[in-house]
Chain A
Amino acid sequence: MQRTDKIFRLVCLLCALPAALLLPGMLLQLLSNSAEAWHTFGLSFLWSSEWDPAAGKYGAWPGIAGTLLTTATALVPAVPLAFSAALLLTEVPSWLAKPLSHAVDLLAAIPSVIYGMWGLFVLAPLMQEHVQPLLARLPGSTLLLGEDNSGFGFLTAGLILALMILPYMCAIMRDVISMTPPMLREAAYGVGCTCLETTRDIVLRHGLRGIIGGIFIGLGRALGETMAVLFVVGNIMEPPAGLCSCGTTIAATLANNFAEADGLQRSALFALGLVLVVMSVGIQAGAQYYLRLTGAKRGETI
């Protein structure tokens, strides 16, 4: 008995180890492959927006700024939508909640390239013909939106991303909300709280950690999403000039150029990949740290 336990323990360890080794291994690989780029450009690689393969000049800023902008654009509509949907799913009777729940889960199963095609064939023409002319009429819009009106760009990419991350965030938020102890909720209603007050002061406070966790799952996906963004973002190596302008993201740049890249360009692409990994890990770590820091205020035991 003891012997089989030992073997079982060893097998489990062997299965778990690769996961732990993978991240440092990847970082090492990215670092060694991008050494040439770091050596050539130094840290200015991060804020240079020059990307000129003919002249052998590369800078990461268009990719970094584009990635941050599409992600932010995606979160703005996705967070409230996901939260409202999650709330509804936990409040309505199960004959309605079940099919709705399944529908949300199924959204997560749609491959990203399908979202991209939908974006290219449906959303982009719609944006060009109807949404962007409308936005252009707003005062001061050229500053905020940029001058393009091709239907492509960060706004379109962000909207598709919002749709893509919605199911993930919603599923997590739904599970968190449903874990609110019924007694707390009933007590709140008992002292005369309205539905809105119960949601705001009990459900939201109790599940804040999980809800923010859900947001970060979505954010992580939005940061690295490639195919859907590549279809509609415009693929030019320029930092964002506005919300409707075209540009690129790190992931799209890698997908566009990796097959043909050689020498310094290949190294620069590896450096971009490293930046993306560091960004994702950094944001996740920062979020964890923030939650720990503020956990005591919310009366959580860590």
Chain B
Amino acid sequence: MIKNILLTAWCALAPVIAAESITGAGASFPAPVYQKWTYTYSRENPGTTVTYQSLGSGAGLNQIKAGTVDFAGTDNPLTAEQQKEAGLVQVPMLTGGVVVVVNLPGIKDGQLKLSKAVLADIFLGKIKMWNDKAVKALNPGLKLPARKITMVHRADSSGTSFIFTNYLSKISADWREKVGQGSSVKWPVGIGGQKNPGVCNNVAKISGSIGYTEYTYATEAKLACATLENAEGKFVRPTKESFAAGASAADWKNAPGFYMELTNVPGEKSWPITGVTYILIRQDTPEAKREALRKYFTWCYTKGAAAADALNYVALPKDVVDLVLPTL
């Protein structure tokens, strides 16, 4: 309730001069792009102000249910039934990559290779030291220190955590049984950081740490990403191309409510942990507001694509956009 009061107060204080104001809140995963979009769109369309607050997927969902914002961002998709139940419309916005970041002295971006089994065992706490023979066997050329592994996960409820635990559940039966998938789970080991930036900060400060984060945050924090084994057993580096290869596996035509999981998808070049980030709007949005939202999102899908590309996200292909827009 407090946050609602705060948000309402904030909305009241926000520029009231603008004829149209669109407010959004939610996932921090796509926030770098959304912030760029809201800024550019508001400048190109005087009279319309769009704002997006990066609060986390769970918070976004709460806000849109409470009706305090016009749209919410989430990376933890609702199924078609859940959407119906909550009176929400869900559409995909972008695809991005979740990467595994490490902080090890002397180890640079992309140098460390982790197989599916080793990745799961590290996050399960079965592999405790960096010089464990399983890690060494994958990385014969690297000097791995005799340092404890400190795992860093999200402390808040998070769509990025959902994507990551969804992946771990697919590659490890042990993980599926002991931990499972979700926005916040009972992590077997590790410490928590607040949102994507908090995880990056903690990884940057703790020597011997490993964590997961959205790719843009990792590049901004200049952290070393690990090379991961994908569904086909090939080792791939996190790049825009491998994210796009992963995104191309999506079959949007046969996804009721656009519910989609893009982890562990086939394809030799596919990055194994890609995720879709979604927009949620209320079904009972008044037509005038809905029109403004439609106009804004159409702009995002078309003109905004370049900005998304520059920040290493993958925009939706045109045929998918044509599929999505009529539902808004």
Binding site for B on A (CB under 8 A): 51-55, 120-121, 124-125, 128-129, 147-152, 230, 234-237, 246, 248, 256-262
Contact = CB atoms under 8 A, between A and B. Distances in A.
Contacts of B79: none
B192 interface: yes
Smallest CB-CB A-B distances: 3 pairs: A260-B58, A235-B192, A260-B157
Given A120-B201, A150-B209, A151-B205, A260 B194 contact: no
A272 B156 CA distance: 16
A55 to B, nearest CB: 8
A259 B58 CA distance: 8
Contacts of A230: 194
15 contacts: A54-B186, A120-B202, A124-B206, A125-B207, A148-B150, A150-B209, A151-B206, A152-B202, A235-B192, A235-B193, A236-B155, A246-B191, A259-B55, A259-B58, A260-B184
Contacts of B157: 53, 257, 260-261
B62 interface: yes
A125 B150 CA distance: 13
| A contact patch SS | loop
A148 B207 CA distance: 12
B62 A260 contact: yes
Contacts of B184: 53-54, 257, 260
B107 to A, nearest CB: 17
Which size class do B's interface residues fall under?
20 to 34
Given A54-B184, A54-B186, A236-B191, 14 more contacts: A52-B186, A53-B182, A53-B183, A53-B184, A129-B207, A150-B206, A230-B194, A235-B193, A235-B194, A236-B190, A256-B155, A260-B57, A260-B183, A261-B58
Given A128-B207, A152-B191, A260 B156 contact: yes
B56 interface: yes
Interface string B1-14: 00100000000000
Nearest to A247: B191
B316 interface: no
Nearest to A33: B1
B191 A259 contact: no
A108 to B, nearest CB: 25
B148 interface: yes
A154 B88 CA distance: 43
Contacts of A152: 191, 202, 206
Given A54-B186, A236-B190, A258 B3 contact: yes
